[in-house]
Structure 1
Amino acid sequence: MTLLLTAEQVRGPKYLNVSERGLRVLLKAGLPYIKVGKRKMFPPDEIKDWISQHTSRCHIGSIAGQARRTGMSRSQSTVIAFDEACERLTKTSPTSERPTSTGGR
């Protein structure tokens, strides 16, 4: 049995199945590791415990299962021809017919 796992082993499908970026996010979230020189090594038992603690909190209807909101809304759109769009821009609207002030600054 392996005493410590490398980052590649922990990222793999047997444990977390995440990318390098995903592993960094999990490390910030408290994933346990041990520094060995410049490397981060992972105790398998602690990783399994951490996974079980963090996956048991998820439940149906949690925010983790919902799609991320982009802030954009969907509305009906109309496709118009380029010529018609140009005509709409050149037409004068009632607000543009107001007299402008002649006072100079």
Structure 2
Amino acid sequence: MIETLYEEIQARKVDPKEGSYTNYLFEQGLDKILKKVGEEATEVIIAAKNDEAELISETSDLIYHMLVLLAEKDISLEAVKTELKKREGKLSKTKERKQIDEL
């Protein structure tokens, strides 16, 4: 499903459709896309404190906007999958991570 959505987003970048929200984001450029990713990430956090249906909805919005960002930056899903595979099976030691108040 995510691959299909990403392909549709890429297709809109190449072959715009009038009235398309995806094309609106591409036309507005990177700053607008980044703003939307930030807004949606914040909404996911808030939704996580509220209810499951809202969390699912906002997570879907965030994933969509992240895919638009990847397409805008010409980063393939394959590159993301490769990075995730590099991490597979590795233990992350909490002591090696910065504390949340140090970020």
Bin for the TM-score computed over the shorter chain:
under 0.3
Tell me which of the two structures has the higher relative contact order, counting C-alpha pairs closer than 8 angstroms and 6 or more residues apart.
Answer: 2
Task: Give the TM-score taking structure 2 as reference length.
Answer: 0.27
Task: Give the TM-score taking structure 1 as reference length.
Answer: 0.26
Query: Which structure has the larger Rg over C-alpha atoms?
Result: 1
- Decide which structure has greater strand share: 1
